[in-house]
Chain A
């Protein structure tokens, strides 16, 4: 199974900062600069982890539904976003226009998958709310398998995949995002800075939705006590539909974000990779907690960054160090605080 997509090897191939600069010219490790580099890389990874996890936590927070189709939707998002980019960006397309197309793709994919997610909630999830969570898990897992297989069939028929990443969308990334830029003396990959910006944008948008809109208020109240919210005259089922749709849309936005990323990129395997890492982040942060997801994404990002640095500098030669560390964090959290950093013992439900 590929954990972080192409994790060990690919992470080594395309780290946020240039591995060659990790050691000072004299051969001794420059502690402060190295720490800055590892931190910068950690923030970049955290932005990605946050973006792929936030939709999952939103859905669980209000509805108590563990959406196992979350990763598959991210995979669809990566392909759809890639398709838009491949269709509308050519060799002569300028940087600004390409980035504009990227945002159009982001909005388009979000709109389409949000609508599809809402329809899925009404048609498939709603009829089984009164059953045990096992039914929801089996259903969403089944949906995930169907989406993956359909994707595999379409890609095989089109001669695109299944195995290697679809390279065409990555080729549409504008030059301005391909190189490195000096930031406080550290060579940081511009694509990761772009991902940090998108991650921050998603975080601010979700935060504003939750705290500044009446609907967000319903969702936060509903994540504590859905029955009480209903007793206040609010149609929680309608809120479920909206939240499931938005959660699905955010999964797809995560996919679009990963489309240009050489470590991830569009592939059918993205489905399981995204799902695993999203679960790690939301479980460590506390299922249903926005703040928890943000903090956990930071922790997992930094852990990933530190372990990647240990591997790329040869201090540790085990290539799976990063994955092992991240999943070890998950295990430790489940043992010492099963509800996660910011989680409550019972959330959501209906």
Chain B
């Protein structure tokens, strides 16, 4: 079953035409990576799917329902979660409060938060600490945990390894693997190798359209069809 489908979407920031007819689909249980250079529209694709930057043309379908033009909270309430670039944790709220906000709609919110603590013991240790006082890696864990506790069928994960030390990135990768066990995932990631390791399929985006797509197995950044789009 197709979880997310973008069909010929055109998205703008003011007069800047960012997505220029982009189409993609994500099947249930998959991890799909969006790769490409900076500024080609990967983050905008996630924002368009969630309704944060709605498309002017084209359609977005989520779990078979046309959600184009719906408010972001309505789309999110249908089970689409977001782990944004730069984490965007609520820095003046405690770790526990961050998770409570995210788990507000889940019937078993306490159990989900407990599961998140099991997966990220550091968050349990610092549950009463303000999120702004956590390290970058811990904040990333919290952002992922926030996406996981929200009863989501699909998680949109944007640049999870950005600005993190290599050791922390490994932990984040493990966390994402754990999250993907029961959630379909769209992953935007600058680190090509990491994206290929994690994802089942990929879409290569350039100038707001998909220029390549396929299985990730065996794909490297040295492939000619990939390299020419990743190098400036």
Interaction A to B: yes
Binding site for B on A (CB under 8 A): 214, 217-218, 220-221, 224-225, 227-237
Please, how many angstroms separate the alpha-carbon atoms of A232 and B105 in the complex? 9
> Contact between A230 and B76 (Cβ–Cβ < 8 Å)?
yes
Residue of B nearest to A239 (CB): B73
B37-80: CB near A (< 8 Å → 1, else 0) gives 00000000000001010000000000000000001110011000
A232 and B93 in contact, given A217-B100, A218-B101 (Cβ under 8 angstroms): no
> Contact between B101 and A231 (Cβ–Cβ < 8 Å)?
no
Residue of A nearest to B103 (CB): A232
- Does any Cβ of A come within 8 Å of B19's Cβ? no
Q: Besides A217-B100, A217-B101, A230-B76, 6 other CB < 8 A contacts?
A: A220-B92, A229-B101, A230-B71, A230-B73, A232-B102, A234-B101
A232 and B91 in contact, given A221-B101, A227-B52 (Cβ under 8 angstroms): no
Cβ contacts under 8 Å, A234 to chain B: 73, 101, 104
Binding site for A on B (CB under 8 A): 50, 52, 71-73, 76-77, 81-82, 84, 88, 90-93, 97-98, 100-102, 104-105, 146, 150
Please, how many angstroms separate the alpha-carbon atoms of A217 and B81 in the complex? 19
Cβ contacts under 8 Å, A214 to chain B: 100, 104
A228 and B50 in contact, given A233-B73, A233-B150 (Cβ under 8 angstroms): no
Please, how many angstroms separate the alpha-carbon atoms of A224 and B150 in the complex? 19
* A-B contacts, 15 listed (Cβ < 8 Å): A217-B93, A218-B104, A220-B93, A224-B90, A224-B91, A224-B93, A225-B88, A227-B52, A228-B82, A228-B88, A230-B72, A232-B76, A232-B102, A234-B73, A234-B101
Please, how many angstroms separate the alpha-carbon atoms of A233 and B73 in the complex? 4
Q: Chain B's interface: helix, strand, loop or mixed, by majority?
A: mixed
Please, how many angstroms separate the alpha-carbon atoms of A152 and B72 in the complex? 44
Cβ contacts under 8 Å, B71 to chain A: 230, 235, 237
Most chain B CB inside 10 Å of its own CB: which residue of A221, A227, A228, A229: A228
Residue of B nearest to A344 (CB): B92
A228 and B84 in contact, given A217-B100, A218-B101, A234-B104 (Cβ under 8 angstroms): yes
> Contact between B93 and A221 (Cβ–Cβ < 8 Å)?
yes
Residue of B nearest to A228 (CB): B88
> Contact between B50 and A220 (Cβ–Cβ < 8 Å)?
no
> Contact between B97 and A217 (Cβ–Cβ < 8 Å)?
yes
Most chain A CB inside 10 Å of its own CB: which residue of B98, B102, B105: B102
Please, how many angstroms separate the alpha-carbon atoms of A220 and B131 in the complex? 13
Residue from the list B76, B81, B82, B90 in contact with A221, Cβ < 8 A: B90
Q: Nearest Cβ in chain B — how far from A61, in angstroms?
A: 11
A220 and B77 in contact, given A230-B72, A233-B105 (Cβ under 8 angstroms): no
> Contact between B88 and A232 (Cβ–Cβ < 8 Å)?
no
> Contact between A231 and B92 (Cβ–Cβ < 8 Å)?
no
Residue of B nearest to A235 (CB): B73
Q: Nearest Cβ in chain A — how far from B94, in angstroms?
A: 10
Cβ contacts under 8 Å, B150 to chain A: 232-233
Please, how many angstroms separate the alpha-carbon atoms of A234 and B146 in the complex? 14
Cβ contacts under 8 Å, A224 to chain B: 90-93
> Contact between B72 and A231 (Cβ–Cβ < 8 Å)?
yes
Residue of B nearest to A289 (CB): B92
> Contact between B90 and A231 (Cβ–Cβ < 8 Å)?
no
Top 9 nearest A-B pairs by Cβ distance? A233-B76, A233-B77, A230-B72, A231-B82, A221-B90, A230-B73, A235-B73, A224-B90, A221-B101
